[in-house]
Amino acid sequence: MSFTYVVKEGVSGFRRTKLASFTSVTALVISVLLIGLMARVGYNAYQVVHTLKQSIEVEVFLLDVSDNRTGRIESDLQAYPIVTSAEYVSKQDAERIFREEFGTEGESLADLNFLPASFRLQLSPEATAAEIRQMVNEIEQFQGVDEVVFNQQLLETLEERLEVLVVAGTGIGLLILFTAVVLVFNTIRLTIYAKRNIIRTMKLVGATNSFIRRPFLLEGFLQGGLAAIIAIGLHWIIFELIIPYYIPQFGVLAWPFDRWYYLIGAMLALSFIMGLWGSRWATRKFISQSTIG
């Protein structure tokens, strides 16, 4: 009887406050959809930055030093945790690369012996500009090292853009979530007000606050579930149909961690939690009162 009552009363809340329920479900749909959009776009933006950071090289140009000293420098370079590989480019290799890159202009130069030997360092994508700058300062002090070159400005720009994206996305996401929860709260409050006489009577005959709350918690939970289904459907339509059709150069943006169920599961859980949280907030605030005016 208790379970049947909870389900019946939880569903009836949609009928009693149709406009408010529609508003809260719509707000949840928009919130969950926007969070999903930001998560997917943000993940792909992070992947782009990650790829660009992998393309950044640090070149360590050497003076004319012995083979033993060159080997020692190579060992010291590879000892840095952020260095994934150190490729040695001899003077002969530097000359060949120069001629390949400059074509006929490079071939017109008979003597390219001035080109120094060097190491090309590939760095971990997780390395920060500060870590690289510190490493470069230390390498410049190595005996036999002439100059160290890397595109510090590009790396710092990428990090700044990514930081802005994360901060802005987090702030907007929290604001959206709070707004949706407030709307769910308001819907449940209106439902409680519409049933205030019934609730007052139930209290008089000994019903506990916990028992009275359950239908309203179910209503919020159902609102979250309905919103999740709609938001996930819209998300699929946007990314799998609309974007590839109207912006084919984008193709299909990758799912976070290359698996669809991570984001879909997060959207589903988030919607349920927001619906349940908003309803729990309202029921604790209003049903716990001794009278409902």
More confident residue, 246 or 222: 222
Three-class SS state of 84: strand
- Please determine, for residue 112, whether its predicted confidence score (pLDDT) is greater than 80: no
Q: 17 CB contacts (<8 Å, ≥6 apart)?
A: 187, 190, 191, 194
- Please determine, for residue 281, whether its predicted confidence score (pLDDT) is greater than 90: no
**pLDDT tens digit string along 134-154?**
888 898 888 888 888 887 777
Which residue stretches of 195-252 are H helix? 196-204, 209-237, 243-246
pLDDT band at 265 (very low <50, low <70, confident <90, very high): very high
Q: 31 CB contacts (<8 Å, ≥6 apart)?
A: 176, 177, 179, 180, 227, 274
How far the first Cα of the chain sits from its last, in Å, is 29
Domains defined for the chain, CATH in brackets: 2-51+157-286 (no CATH), 57-150 (3.30.70.3040)
Positive or negative: CA dihedral 96, 98, 103, 108:
negative
| Poorest-pLDDT segment among 89-103, 152-166, 197-211, 216-230 | 89-103
Q: 210 CB contacts (<8 Å, ≥6 apart)?
A: none
* Separation between Cα atoms, residue 219 and residue 215, nearest integer Å: 6
How much of the chain exceeds pLDDT 70, in percent?
Answer: 89
pLDDT band at 133 (very low <50, low <70, confident <90, very high): confident
Whether the model clears a pTM of 0.75, i.e. scores above it, the answer is no
Q: How is residue 129 written in tokens?
A: 């500009």
